[in-house]
Structure 1
Amino acid sequence: MMRPFLACIAVVLAGCGAMVPSQPEQRIDLSLQTRAISSAALFGSPRAFAPERSNAQIAQDILELGFRLESGREIPQFSRFQGPVTVSLHGPVPPLGVVETDRLLERLQREAGLDVRRVQGQGDIIVEFVPRDVLRRAVPNAACFVLPNVTSWDAFRANPRAPELDWTRVARRERALVIVPADSTVQDMRDCLHEEIAQALGPLNDLFRIGETVWNDDNFQTILTGFDMLVLRVWNDPALQPGMTRAQVADRLPALLARHNPQGARTTGALDPIPTPMAWTRAVEAALGATSRRASFREAQRALAIALEQRWQDERLAFSLFLSARFAPSEDGAQALDAMILAARIYDTRPGTAVHRAHVHLHLSAQALASGQHDLVLRLTQSAMTVAQRTENGALLASLMLLRAQSLEQLGQATEAEALRRDSVPFALYGFGSAQAAENRQAEIAALARRN
């Protein structure tokens, strides 16, 4: 329901000794938001991974996504829009705002079967673009979010605690306001449009234990996945009606999932343990939001201890290990590397986590580059680049390409390295937001090689 504001995950695994200064926030060059670097131009036709979870697991997921808020509060009834849904854009719409919205709506029509379209004037879902500094002053921890029963940012700010803004009181959705930063990177803007419009149309919760969804605050998935499209298709099926209880929805889900996802009946396995203790969630959020690496590492270790105590073997344990490795002090390099490798192994066993493994391979590639293992860099980046391209993650793809180019150069393949760097430029502009930010990333990666 609220996409958190998280600093971009560093390109290096600092705990393994490949320490690079964190990149300062860059001023976004909105002139770069042209059709030449739109999602469609960069990535072509969408190719979302199909859902991999069993229908029994997805039924459990839908109930937890749909009947609880991120705060832990229960939602007493099923809620959604009825009939066709319109979307309108307001405020200082950035150059690619319309292009990215239309591409998203076309996907929702085709992949989720939704009757949703963009209109002029006021839509059922109102997307308002707000300057980032204005947004952060009002809601410091959110990059974007969605609210019911309000039509503008000004109306929300005039009465931010109005009772009608409480999602637990909503059954039939009549109006939703999506707030998106007006001056972010193209990738960040698109990510916000995907998650918040999808939540306006579907379930409202975010769950760390589900890897194959954008409704997960680890932010590895950045665009709507096959799992998300299936959930939206089921959520908007006529068999479900606003005002239904959790039990009533639960009774109908097996038949709905059998009809919409027949392959899910062939997938078996134990259901994920729930719920997630709030202490673990708070530790993860504190690790991501802390102002010092020492504090982040302390909170990551606290999250890892809780994950081990819960005996999880899913994304929550893997993410705890990932954060512990990412924030580990340099003297704990060996343990950090072991933690990152174990996180990769857990992600290998979990459905829909190819992009998670790609992020782990990014960090392992940085460590391999810093230690002169250039053949390993080439192996790790090859498969990760394919996943980054398919999941339309420009920032991840550009970083992987730059790591690979640096190793090619170190191996004497200067022509191939320079060509790869040139090819990375549009992805870097899309993901990082400015030519300077992209150059800084390239300089950081070159510094890794010089350490060796």
Structure 2
Amino acid sequence: MRRLLTVCLAALLLSSCGGVPTAGVKPGATAVPDLPPMRRFPATAAPPPQRSNAEMARDFMDLSFSLESGRALPVLTRFEEPIHVRMTGVAPPTAAEDLGRLLARLRNEAGIDISSAPDGPAQITVEFLPRKVMQRLVPRAACFVAPRVGSWEAYRRAPRADLDWATLTHRDVAAIFIPNDTAPQEVRDCLHEELAQALGPLNDLYRLPDSVFNDDNIHTVLTGFDMLMLRVTYAPELRSGMTAPEVAARLPALLARLNPAGERGRAPLPDPTPRAYSEAIETALGPGTFAPRRRVAAREALDIAEARGWRDTRTGFAWLALGRLSLGHDAETAQIAFREAAAIYESRPELALQAAHADMQLAAFALSNGEAEEVILRANRSLPLAAAAENAALLSSLLMVKAEALDLVGRASEARQVRLDSLGWARYGFASDAEVRLRLMNIAALSPATRMRQK
């Protein structure tokens, strides 16, 4: 399940992922150009995973034999026949192309026999429906997957026991439910995460630095690690019904065959993430909680991380969450939190994308202070990372702050081109043209030049 997070980490100074505050922005204070055509990322394969096979064997076991709730799964399950996928409901205009690209990647990178079935029966159905309809039943989900059903109506009528993944011995039918009134990027991200869980691992692990199987939502498209996990799941050495000891006995040779570059010694055992940390993060970032309690929960997650001596993605994410939740309440705490997150992320090469999210927030502070060169520096080093991760929301936000900084140093012509480029990506990254325009205006409002014009 892709969780609904009120912290939209690719965005800037927003009250939620679906809304943009307009306080302090006077109509007409910032010229908004006509919006260019939507930009899309080219089809590319993910780079191979960089961690050792010893680490990835442990990750595979933890991902494949537990649910997100912590419940153990008795056996490995997967589809044992060729898999067909169909879309139903009112699909967004970008969905068919994004699904086609994803299926091609799953065939080429994970070796899965999977294809689309627009008119025939399918093992996996992707149904699009309005967000408010979906969240009446599942309020904390941005999108989700369920076993043994092929439609929303079947899901609504199904006994809860039939929807329990732990009762499966193999997979034959599943349905994915995605809102059709959200950003094109969010639709694509849901396709990646939910189809991966429909096919393979059902758990999420906050400790993973390089995976969509992590509730931090930093990685939004399937990574090289994710493709390896799926390739292992569908390897001929494994089958549905195998127990954890049976799978664990086969993993070393299997990973050596599939990922020979990962054969480089053992790795230290990871410190498990206690349920208290996960619950604190969910309270801080999930829906239905008042702002003061969110900030308390973010600090609780941070306290757990620091007490356990973590200097990994979990501590960085707790700092990032605290920083975001402190915006508009305590700017000094927010800036300190983002700098702490950046320090952790920058110390570990595998957390480069996470560092780009921190850079976005720190660039916003620098823009507000008129520190144009720092804005440009942070944007320039993070833009390639956002593009490589296919994160149009983050990419467009970085381009917007860079454009304002270029204007501050008198590079007006370059600023116009960068701003125009940002809008093409924003049309894919955000939910509507109105949101794109308001986002541009709010980022422009951070600039001292805009504030001078408003006086």
By the TM > 0.5 criterion, same fold?
A: yes
Secondary structure of the 2:326 match is coil
Deviation per CA, 1:327-378, whole angstroms, max 9, x where unpaired?
2366754454333223223223446322211111101111111111111111
1:30 aligned partner = none
Instruction: Quickly say closer, same or farther: Cα 1:334–1:185, change in 2 above 3 A.
Output: closer
Secondary structure of the 2:144 match is strand
Q: Please say if residues 86 and 116 of structure 2, whose CA atoms lie closer than 8 Å, have aligned partners that are also in contact.
A: yes
The residue type equivalent to 1:305 in the other structure is: D
Equivalence map 1:7-406=2 (5 Å): 7=6, 9=8, 25=19, 37=38, 42-119=40-117, 120-159=119-158, 161-266=159-264, 269-274=267-272, 276-289=273-286, 291-328=289-326, 332-350=330-348, 352-406=350-404
2:431 aligned partner = 433
Instruction: Quickly say closer, same or farther: Cα 1:379–1:83, change in 2 above 3 A.
Output: same
CA–CA separation in structure 1 for the residues paired with 2:266 and 2:246: 24
Q: Please say if residues 150 and 156 of structure 1, whose CA atoms lie closer than 8 Å, have aligned partners that are also in contact.
A: yes
The residue type equivalent to 1:279 in the other structure is: A
Moved more, 179-188 or 189-198: 179-188
Q: Please say if residues 212 and 351 of structure 1, whose CA atoms lie closer than 8 Å, have aligned partners that are also in contact.
A: no
Which structure 2 segments of 5+ residues have no match?
21-36
Instruction: Quickly say closer, same or farther: Cα 1:88–1:21, change in 2 above 3 A.
Output: closer
C-alpha deviation, 1:12, in angstroms: 7.3
Q: Please say if residues 135 and 181 of structure 1, whose CA atoms lie closer than 8 Å, have aligned partners that are also in contact.
A: yes
Deviation per CA, 1:168-193, whole angstroms, max 9, x where unpaired?
01121111111111222110110000
Instruction: Quickly say closer, same or farther: Cα 1:291–1:162, change in 2 above 3 A.
Output: closer
CA–CA separation in structure 2 for the residues paired with 1:148 and 1:23: 28
C-alpha deviation, 1:20, in angstroms: 6.6
Secondary structure of the 2:446 match is helix
The aligned length equals 432
Instruction: Quickly say closer, same or farther: Cα 1:11–1:410, change in 2 above 3 A.
Output: farther
Report the identity percentage: 43
Q: What TM-score do you get using the length of structure 2 for normalisation?
A: 0.90
- The equivalent position to 1:421 in structure 2, one of 400, 419, 422, is 419
C-alpha deviation, 1:199, in angstroms: 0.8
C-alpha deviation, 1:108, in angstroms: 0.6
2:33 aligned partner = none
C-alpha deviation, 1:311, in angstroms: 2.0
The residue type equivalent to 2:146 in the other structure is: L
Instruction: Quickly say closer, same or farther: Cα 1:358–1:116, change in 2 above 3 A.
Output: same
Instruction: Quickly say closer, same or farther: Cα 1:23–1:237, change in 2 above 3 A.
Output: closer
Q: Please say if residues 53 and 267 of structure 1, whose CA atoms lie closer than 8 Å, have aligned partners that are also in contact.
A: no
1:446 aligned partner = 444
2:29 aligned partner = none
Instruction: Quickly say closer, same or farther: Cα 1:363–1:282, change in 2 above 3 A.
Output: same
CA–CA separation in structure 2 for the residues paired with 1:395 and 1:11: 6
CA–CA separation in structure 2 for the residues paired with 1:150 and 1:12: 35
CA–CA separation in structure 1 for the residues paired with 2:8 and 2:178: 21
CA–CA separation in structure 2 for the residues paired with 1:8 and 1:415: 33
CA–CA separation in structure 1 for the residues paired with 2:153 and 2:43: 37
1:31 aligned partner = none
Q: Please say if residues 11 and 366 of structure 1, whose CA atoms lie closer than 8 Å, have aligned partners that are also in contact.
A: no
C-alpha deviation, 1:25, in angstroms: 3.4
Secondary structure of the 1:352 match is helix
Q: What TM-score do you get using the length of structure 1 for normalisation?
A: 0.91
Q: Please say if residues 325 and 337 of structure 1, whose CA atoms lie closer than 8 Å, have aligned partners that are also in contact.
A: yes
Which structure 1 segments of 5+ residues have no match?
14-18, 27-35
C-alpha deviation, 1:135, in angstroms: 0.5
CA–CA separation in structure 2 for the residues paired with 1:356 and 1:80: 31
